[in-house]
A and B are shown apart, each in its own frame.
Chain A
Amino acid sequence: DVKVTQSSRYLVKRTGEKVFLECVQDMDHENMFWYRQDPGLGLRLIYFSYDVKMKEKGDIPEGYSVSREKKERFSLILESASTNQTSMYLCASARGEPSGANVLTFGAGSRLTVL
């Protein structure tokens, strides 16, 4: 019944390493999103994509990039990880236009620790 799968639940990386977070959805959704979730803060949007090879910056894109080569897969890349990127990363997908009760389906999250 899993619909949004994030490849890694827990990662520990060192400062300066390149980090790939993978997300795959099996619902044929057009839209995919990467958020980070930190204690005491609401979810913050990093990047989103509304179509293959398309990407839009969210509220906090600095230090991140994304790739969407196939409809079902949306990757988040940290080119050079830093300690302030230690966080829980949530991937989500949604169908079509952001109207009505068009809800997000989330993955279980990837907890990244940067040492």
Chain B
Amino acid sequence: GQNIDQPTEMTATEGAIVQINCTYQTSGFNGLFWYQQHAGEAPTFLSYNVLDGLEEKGRFSSFLSRSKGYSYLLLKELQMKDSASYLCAVRDSNYQLIWGAGTKLIIKP
């Protein structure tokens, strides 16, 4: 079966760095997405990786290793507004999105 694994919850301190991991086993691979979802709000797109390596976008970076079935989202200089759930999703060989359950990130002052 297809599976995406992420930690359920993480806690970090304002100003620090946090890494949210995502591992996947899917039927084929056509890209990996990270979305951010604040409580009670719509998920919003953060990043897209299709080739191995690191994609940097401001305070957020996303890494992909296709051979390991592994990605991480790196958040630097954490702010209170980064408290949210982070969803990892993989597009499989049929171009369908398979979603992880999300990681709830709690930022403490």
Residues on A facing B (Cβ under 8 Å): 4, 40-45, 90, 98-101, 103-109
Contacts A98-B91, A101-B31: A45 and B97 contacting too (C-beta < 8 A)?
yes
The smallest C-beta distance from A17 to any residue of chain B, in angstroms, reads: 24
Interface range, B side:
20 to 34
Q: Across the two chains, which residue of chain B brings its CB closest to A97?
A: B95
Q: A100-B31, A103-B45, A105-B42 are in contact. List 4 more A-B contacts (CB 8 A).
A: A4-B42, A42-B4, A45-B97, A108-B41
The smallest C-beta distance from A40 to any residue of chain B, in angstroms, reads: 6
How many pairs of A and B residues are in contact by the CB < 8 Å rule? Answer: 49
Chain A interface SS verdict (over half): loop
- Does chain A have a CB within 8 A of B60? no
Residues on B facing A (Cβ under 8 Å): 4, 8, 30-31, 33, 40-45, 48, 50, 87, 89, 91, 95-102
Cα of A40 to Cα of B100 in the assembled complex, Å = 9
Determine which residue in B30, B42, B89, B98 has the highest number of CB atoms from chain A within 10 A of its CB, and name it: B42
Partner pick for B42 among A40, A45, A109, CB 8 A cutoff: A109
**Contact residues in B for A106 (Cβ distance below 8 Å):** 42-44
Indicate if the CB atoms of A42 and B31 lie closer than 8 Å: no
Contacts A42-B102, A98-B95: A108 and B42 contacting too (C-beta < 8 A)?
yes
Cα of A40 to Cα of B101 in the assembled complex, Å = 5
Indicate if the CB atoms of B95 and A104 lie closer than 8 Å: no
Cα of A45 to Cα of B40 in the assembled complex, Å = 19
